[in-house]
Structure formats: structure tokens, C-alpha cells
Structure 1
Amino acid sequence: MIRRRLQKLGEHLDILRKTQQYSRSEFVDDPHLYGSAERFLQLSIEAINDVASHVAVDENLGAAERAQDLPHIFESEGLIGGELRDQWADMIGFRNVLVHDYIDIDRTIVHDAIQNRLGEIERLRSVFARYL
């Protein structure tokens, strides 16, 4: 399960990296590009949370009642630092915005996330790859 999710996450990140070539205006003005990128960003964050939940249970780190608990569990076990914990918590909040407040999303924020924050997802992916 972890292997499949991480593989899928890699595919999502490859797609998102391709969208980095577009300028902010190209990205914002193209509903197909934006919609696709938004969905793959959401799926990437969900994959991180899914893998983390499985690792937490498999390694007896504790069960998370909600996704926001995951970064704290992994930090308390010394598996990630405070900076990555905060970045991950921000991702989870952003994923919730993408899913629930999609009407009010500023497309430039999504563009900025894709341009500047995919490395955070990659770092988390590396943390979980240790459990393969």
C-alpha cells in the first residue's frame, strides 16, 4: 500500500512539475491547466496523509483522529523537524481549502504553491520512503 501510494504521488508530482513552466498569467487564465493542477496538488497532499496514517499505525506511533494530528505525531517521534511539521500542517489546511472552499480560491496562490512548495511534498515523500 505504501509503495503504491508513493508511486502515485511521484506521478502526481511529475505532472505538477510540468505545470511549473507556465507563467502565472498562463496558469490563471487556462481553466484546464489550473483545474488539472489543482486536482493533482490535492491528490498529492492526500497521498502524503494516507501514507502517513498507514506508517503511524504500522509503526505503532499512534492513530491520528484527523489529518492535522499527523505532523505532530511524526515530529514527536523525531521523524521530522518542526519546520517540516509546520509546512505539512499548512499543506493539510490548504488541501481543506481546495476541497471545501474551492469557490473562493485565488488561483495565484495555487500557482505559487506549485512553483515554490513541491519540495516540501518531496521531503515528506522521502521520510515515508524509508518504510518500504
Structure 2
Amino acid sequence: MVKREILTQKIESIKASLKKIRLFSNFTLEQFLEDEIAQDVVVFNLFLIVQNLIDIGNHIISDNGLGEPSAYSDIPVILKRAKILNENEMQIFRSMIQFRNIIAHEYAKIDLHVVYNIFKNKLADIELILSKFIEYCGI
């Protein structure tokens, strides 16, 4: 059984991070590239969002005995196999995890154009994965 309190905290954290990112939704690419504070806020909160989604996915897997991921990239595959995510959602979540790994391990190499594209055009993907987890967990 998925621990409701833990998941609720993680869901609220994701929603708070989305709210912070949206503070910069009116920025042009040029404004974003010139504003280091905006860059830091967006990148850090994207990291937190994906980490919380990973944690939720791990809780679902663990609490339902769906397997043992050996790497974060295994989580979307296991969730697809369990029919919690479809093929498209699995690919979206895998891309998020890859991006999170770039933030975590190669911060200096982050392409700010990619970050801008994510926060301007891909927040719906985050909300999609989050909604799948909320639906599955009945929260």
C-alpha cells in the first residue's frame, strides 16, 4: 500500500515547484538567458520535480512489489510493464529522468535553450505523469 502522507507531501512539493517555475513564464528566451536567478530557480525546481516523481514512482513500485529498479531509468519501464504508464508516458518520464541526471552530474553543461523549451512547452508533460500517479494512488 502506497503511503498517502509521503505521496501527498511529494505532490505538494511538485505543485509548489511548478508555481515557482511559472513565475518566469512570461520571459522571452533572451530575458531567460540574461537572468541567472531565473535560470537557477527554473533548473533547481525542474530537478526537484523530477526527483519527486522518481520518488513517487519508486514508492509505487516498492509498495506494490513490482520489482527492483537498478537505476532511475528502470522506473518508467517497470511502471509501463505494470500498466501504470503507457508507452508515450514511459518515454516522457524517461526523458525527464535523463534531464535530471544532466542537472545532477553535469550542471555546467546544461543547455539553457533546452531548459527554456522545457519550462515554456513541457510543463504539461510533468502534469501528465503527476496525474497518472495521483490517479493510480487514489489521492
TM bracket (short chain): over 0.9
Deviation at 1:44, TM superposition (A): 0.5
> Which of residues 4, 8, 14 in structure 2 aligns to 1:9?
14
Distance 1:112 1:79 in 2: 27
Amino acid corresponding to residue 82 of structure 1 in structure 2: E
Deviation at 1:25, TM superposition (A): 0.7
Amino acid corresponding to residue 78 of structure 2 in structure 1: I
1:34 aligns with 2:42: no
1:66 aligns with 2:74: no
- Under a length normalisation based on structure 1, what TM-score does the superposition of the two structures give? 0.95
The aligned residue for residue 3 of structure 2 is none
Deviation at 1:93, TM superposition (A): 0.6
The aligned residue for residue 109 of structure 1 is 114
Aligned Cα root-mean-square deviation (Å): 1.0
Bigger mean CA offset, 14-23 vs 92-101: 14-23
Displaced runs of 4 or more, over 2 A: none
Distance 1:64 1:6 in 2: 21
Deviation at 1:73, TM superposition (A): 0.6
**1:38-49 alignment to 2 at 5 Å?**
38-49=43-54
Amino acid corresponding to residue 59 of structure 1 in structure 2: N
- Under a length normalisation based on structure 2, what TM-score does the superposition of the two structures give? 0.91
Deviation at 1:81, TM superposition (A): 1.1
Distance 2:22 2:64 in 1: 32
Which ranges in structure 1 are unaligned for 5 or more consecutive residues? none
**1:44-59 alignment to 2 at 5 Å?**
44-59=49-64
Equivalent pairs counted in the alignment come to 132
> Which of residues 71, 83, 86 in structure 2 aligns to 1:81?
86
Contact 2:20 2:41 in 1 (8 A): no
Contact 2:29 2:113 in 1 (8 A): yes
Q: Percent identity?
A: 23
